[in-house]
Amino acid sequence: MAGFWGRRKREDAEIEAQDAELTRKAGAALVAADERMRVTDDELAYAEIELGRDATKDLRDALAAVRQHLGEAFHLHQLNHDEIPDTAEELRTRNARIVQLCDWAEELLGDRMESLGEAIARARRAPEIVEGIRRDVAAMSERLPALRSTLERLATRYSDDAMRTVLGNAAEAEHLLEFAVHSADVSERRRDAGHREQANLALETAIEASRRAATLVDAVDTFEIEALRAESTLSAIVEDSREDLVAAQPLRATPQVGDAAAELEAALRSLTPAGSKPDPFAELSRLRTANAALDAAVAKARERAERPIPSEAHVRHAIDDADRQIGVARSVISGHRGWIGADPRTRLAEAERIRGDLMAFAGPIPEDDRERAMNLARRAGQLAGQALELAQRDIDSSRPDDWNQGGYGGPRGGMGGGMGGGNMVGGLLGGLMIGGILDGFLD
């Protein structure tokens, strides 16, 4: 008994220590959340000066929500220290709720401040960013004459269809660079006038215009390299395609191979002749597609040659055989419902389900589907045969012992009765129903 009370005191002491720690944690969390709210309120004021009220709407809404919910936390904290006595469970619940509200407030304010941090930093570095935009614009403007020269050279080599993605890049890049400089000037004037929000919007516009101009300028150089790579790859694929056509010649009698070979020959004939401006990207894409189709058709034809496809007559025969076996198994199982267990019925149900899948092959069976249909028919017949064997086992095990030993007109007594004047009814039932029907079904 002393050990019981000692253990009980230790448990009570541990619970009191946990409750005291939770109370301390709730108070500390409330103080930290209140301080975070005050600091965020100050940051919001600075952010509105730097970015404007519209840009800081999310933070302002979050601060209002936190202020409302922290009011609930302070109220719970006050209830913990009023003159009304509380149970340990009530204190525990309130402190847990206070910690939850304070953690939520810290997380929400931290997330909103983090999303504004980059914008605030960019706004404070606005003069430096504007100067960087002007330097970038000047550097890209110096590249425009070379860019136009490159486009003229490429236009003499490649077709308009091939050049359509970069043909207007020089003019568009020049327009974007002018727009970037104009936006940077607007940003400076608005900032000097004290309109920080408008200044930041113009600065973002200038940054985006400069970035897009750089992308257009770099795209021309990238296009030239990719066009050279496409031409080189096209030459290799042309040679490979001609070799594939020669290798596929013995299989041209196969419809799929013949069609794929004709498509590849058409793609080769459509290649741009010498002296004309090609579109290497489109020609490479078409030739690759036709070449891959021929490879797939040849591989399929060779696989069929190695593994002959069953004729449709063989498939139909397998389906008919499955139907016969299912019909026999269904007749036996339905005629001996009280004697048949779950296993035969399960096998028969699965065989009938697979037979239902074979209904998709009611019409002419394509060559690609014959092997699958054959496998399904064989599986259905196999399951039906298993169902019949299991059904016969259940019937044999369900007979009375003296039936199996020759009594009640069983198979032995039935035959004897029928031949030697024994029990005529038993002989008829045993010899006809068991000896005749089941043996005939299994045969």
Residue 417: the pLDDT is 37
Least confident segment among 194-198, 279-283, 389-393:
194-198
- Rounded distance between C-alpha atoms, residue 28 and residue 31, angstroms: 5
For all residues of the chain together, what is the average pLDDT?
81
User: Between 91 and 244, where is the model more confident?
Assistant: 244
- Rounded distance between C-alpha atoms, residue 379 and residue 283, angstroms: 48
Residue 3: the pLDDT is 52
What number is the average pLDDT over the span 428-432? Answer: 34
CA nearest to 322, candidates 283, 286, 348, 289: 348
Residue 174 CB partners (closer than 8 Å, separation 6+): 141, 144
Reduce the DSSP state of residue 370 to 3 states and report it. helix
User: Between 371 and 209, where is the model more confident?
Assistant: 209
Contacts 24+ apart (CB under 8 A), 200-204: 200/50, 200/51, 200/52, 200/55, 200/119, 200/122, 200/123, 200/126, 203/122, 203/123, 203/126, 203/129, 203/130
What number is the average pLDDT over the span 166-178? Answer: 93
Residue 57: the pLDDT is 77
Residue 418: the pLDDT is 37
Check pLDDT > 90 for residue 260.
yes
Q: Which bin fits 408, alpha (ψ -120 to 50), beta or left (φ > 0)?
A: left
* Burial readout 184-198 (b: 16 or more C-beta within 10 A, e: otherwise): bebbbebbeeeebbb
Highest mean pLDDT among 110-119, 214-223, 334-343: 214-223
Residue 409: the pLDDT is 43
Check pLDDT > 50 for residue 414.
no
- Whether 413 and 360 have beta carbons less than 8 Å apart is answered as no
- Whether 205 and 183 have beta carbons less than 8 Å apart is answered as yes
pLDDT in tens, 283-313: 999 999 999 999 999 988 887 777 777 888 8
- Give the whole-number percent of the chain exceeding pLDDT 90: 36
What number is the average pLDDT over the span 158-183? Answer: 92
Q: How many Cα atoms sit within 13 Å of 425 on the Cβ side?
A: 1
- Rounded distance between C-alpha atoms, residue 315 and residue 373, angstroms: 7
Residue 21: the pLDDT is 78
pLDDT band of residue 425 (cuts 50, 70, 90) is very low
Residue 14: the pLDDT is 67
Q: How many Cα atoms sit within 13 Å of 199 on the Cβ side?
A: 25
Check pLDDT > 60 for residue 411.
no
Residue 432: the pLDDT is 32
- Rounded distance between C-alpha atoms, residue 31 and residue 37, angstroms: 10
Residue 371 CB partners (closer than 8 Å, separation 6+): 309, 310
Least confident segment among 269-273, 321-325, 358-362, 413-417:
413-417
CA nearest to 184, candidates 208, 168, 161: 208
Amino acid of residue 188: E
* pTM attached to this predicted model: 0.51
Residue 265: the pLDDT is 92
Residue 125: the pLDDT is 75
User: Between 172 and 198, where is the model more confident?
Assistant: 172
Check pLDDT > 70 for residue 262.
yes
